[in-house]
Amino acid sequence: VQLCVGLPQYDPLFSNKVELLHRHNMPTTSDTTGPDGARSSFTI
């Protein structure tokens, strides 16, 4: 199962959440043209 997580840039905790994902080796992709500021996906 692959799960996708979207983090909107307007979220006050955006930078904390991205840092947490990076700390656990979950790469994020930035797409500033869309509604989400960063996206991450992982497989269970």
Give the pair of three-digit tokens for residue 22: 């990076």
Token duo for residue 37: 């500021």
* Between 8 and 2, residue with greater pLDDT: 8
Q: What is the pLDDT of residue 29?
A: 64
Cα separation of 6 and 39, whole Å?
A: 5
Q: Taking 80 as the threshold, does the pLDDT of residue 12 lie above it?
A: yes
Going by pLDDT thresholds of 50, 70 and 90, the confidence category of residue 33 is very low
- How many Å apart are CA 1 and CA 32, to the nearest integer? 26
CA pair distance 13, 28, nearest whole angstrom: 15
